[in-house]
Amino acid sequence: MPLGTYHLEYLPSNTAPNPKSMNIRISDELRPCVDPLTAHEYAALESSILTEGCRDALVLWGDVLIDGHNRYAICKKHDIPFKTVQNDRFASIEDVMLWMIDNHLARRSVSDFQRGMLALRKKAILAARQKEKQAAEPEAKAGPEDAPKPAAERPPLATREEIAKVAGISSNAISRIEKIQKTAAPELVEAVRAGTISLNAAAAVASLPPERQVAAVSGGKKELQQAARQVREAKAPARPKPEAEPHEPVTDLDEANRQIAQLRAENATMKSRIQQLTIALSEARRN
């Protein structure tokens, strides 16, 4: 069951949280940083909370929920009590996003695809910050000399290798995830997120037109595998046809003459032997 099925109050973009408010609100900006659960994972979490209650406290930034979105939805659905804890060390919504991403990446249950998506989201946030910082530098230089200097920012993720290191996966996997992110139909993205198709196969299927991707997903796992195989075979270089081996003509005249001379010598030896045997036979008859 996807997050958002329940009636929740959303915080408009770029709105600061109100620490005095007791209402838990969910920021729409934070949704890309929430690790989505598959239907099986959501059902398992719901069963656990129904049996044992909500053991872990939800984390809030003011009145904005920043950790425990699925637990909150389940508790609201079944009217189950829960605890909250405040984390007020963030200066902006971007700080919250980066914290949420790092928090999800630290979990072992996150798939390679989800890790890559989160790391790419982190790259986008850091790149946007860097751009804003560069745009603000002329104004900062024009200010008074005793003005406080801003805190050091995290460096952006400039290369695919750096993104892969943050995600804990290979740079090749990041390349495939980027392709899926750019060209895959939503149905294919959901299939790879759910584990119906592997990352490699999904990257291959993502090169097909959207309607063919959707058709492959609707056909199930075998249809997806077949579509990926067809894409790989179409891209594979054609094997060259084997050429017939020509008969090698005898071009060495000296070698030919040598073989003829050898045959003649063998023939002369054979004649001499026949003559010797004929003479020996005649003498034997006389005696």
Tell me the average pLDDT of the chain: 82
Chain segment 54-109, per-residue pLDDT in tens: 999 999 999 999 999 999 999 999 999 999 999 989 999 999 999 999 999 998 78
Amino acid residing at 100: M
pLDDT at 143 over 60: no
| Among the listed residues 132, 82, 77, 125, the one whose alpha carbon sits nearest the alpha carbon of residue 100 | 125
Q: What is the largest CA-CA distance in the chain?
A: 143
Residues 228, 201: contact at Cβ < 8 Å? Answer: yes
Tokens (6 digits) for 122: 């982190």
Residue scoring higher pLDDT (285 or 204): 204
**How large is the average pLDDT for residues 189-204?**
92
Q: Which residues contact 38 (CB under 8 A, 6 or more apart)?
A: 193, 194, 195
| Among the listed residues 220, 192, 221, 194, the one whose alpha carbon sits nearest the alpha carbon of residue 37 | 194
Tokens (6 digits) for 3: 């997050």
Residues 65, 10: contact at Cβ < 8 Å? Answer: no
Computed on alpha carbons and rounded to an integer, the radius of gyration of the chain in Å comes to 39
- CA distance linking residue 88 with residue 10, whole number of Å: 19
Chain segment 14-61, per-residue pLDDT in tens: 444 434 435 899 999 898 888 778 888 899 999 999 999 999 999 999
Residues 26, 7: contact at Cβ < 8 Å? Answer: no
Question: Model's pTM, two decimal places?
Answer: 0.65
**How large is the average pLDDT for residues 208-228?**
94
**How large is the average pLDDT for residues 281-285?**
74
Tokens (6 digits) for 69: 């979105």
pLDDT category of residue 205 using cuts at 50, 70 and 90: very high
CATH class of 1-90: alpha beta
Query: Sheet harboring 64-67: ordered strands across?
Result: 64-67, 58-61, 84-86
User: Residue 14 has what pLDDT?
Assistant: 41
The backbone torsions φ and ψ at residue 246, rounded to the nearest 5 degrees and listed phi first, read: -75, 150
Angle at 229 between CA 226 and CA 234, to 5 degrees: 125
Q: At what angle do helices 210-218 and 186-193 cross, to 10 degrees?
A: 40
